[in-house]
Structure 1
Amino acid sequence: MDQEGQESVFSATTEFDGDHATVLIRGEVDMSTAETMFQAATRATATRVTLDLREVSFFDSAAIQALIRLTDHYPAGLVVIPSRQVRRVLDISGLGEQPWLRPR
């Protein structure tokens, strides 16, 4: 567990509603799980994806790289809902003002 008391075990769950997918990510997104996050968001023919990261407790450079790949994959159809930790990492990396990023 991290300092906030959230579980660090990674999981990715995808739900579909027509051409829209919602991908709920939990735990730590790092070098060992970033590709799984990417695959969970791209496994179907959805044209719009909401990536819900509100339950993510750790987000590293591999996670940022996977996220950038998702913005390329869904140039006009990606929405990212960050946790406080993810928001901080994206702000520090210069990605905090992207149009696909929603307020926490």
Structure 2
Amino acid sequence: MDQEGPPPVFSASAELEDDHLRVVVTGEVDMATADTMFQTALREPADRVTLDLRGVTFFDSAAIHAVVRLAQQLPGALVVLPSRQVARVLEIAGLGDQAWLRPA
């Protein structure tokens, strides 16, 4: 019997190694959690920031806005690794060709 339970609805954790901050986000990023994702990505000063969204299952307009704001605040330093769902939402929003977005 699996006793681990369901995955968390939302989590954001950051790990700084040298000048590279890796932010891992899982679950649902929406109006209630997008600012936490945004603040986590800016928590530590870093030359490079990887926003790992491969564990994200839901991504709304507030989440899109947070990622666009991060891209503006971290020009040339941000890399976003999307889940399939995130990649689809960003594509629909017209952001599928951004330099900071890596293929899903």
Question: Please, what TM-score do these two structures have when normalized by structure 1?
Answer: 0.92
Maintained 8 Å contact 1:8/1:57 = no
Answer with 1 or 2: which has the greater Rg. Answer: 2
Q: Size of the alignment, in residue pairs?
A: 99
5+ unaligned residues in a row in structure 1: which ranges?
A: 1-5
CA distance in 1, matches of 2:26, 2:15: 14
- Partner deviation per Cα, 1:37-91 (whole Å, 9 max, x = no partner): 0000001111210000000000000000000110011101000000000000000
Unaligned runs of 5+ in 2: 1-5
2:96 corresponds to which residue?
96
1:7 Cα offset (Å): 3.4
Structure 1 segments of 4+ aligned residues over 2 angstroms from their partners: none
Q: Hey, what does 2:59 align to over in structure 1?
A: 59
Aligned residue for 1:43? 43
State the shift of 1:8 in Å.
5.4
Q: Which AA in structure 1 matches 2:103?
A: P
Q: CA RMSD in A?
A: 1.1
**TM-score after normalising by structure 2:** 0.92
Residue in 1 aligned with 2:21? 21
Name the % identity.
Answer: 62
CA distance in 2, matches of 1:7, 1:103: 24
Secondary structure of the corresponding residue to residue 12 of structure 1: strand
Name 2:33's counterpart in structure 1. 33
CA distance in 2, matches of 1:8, 1:80: 21
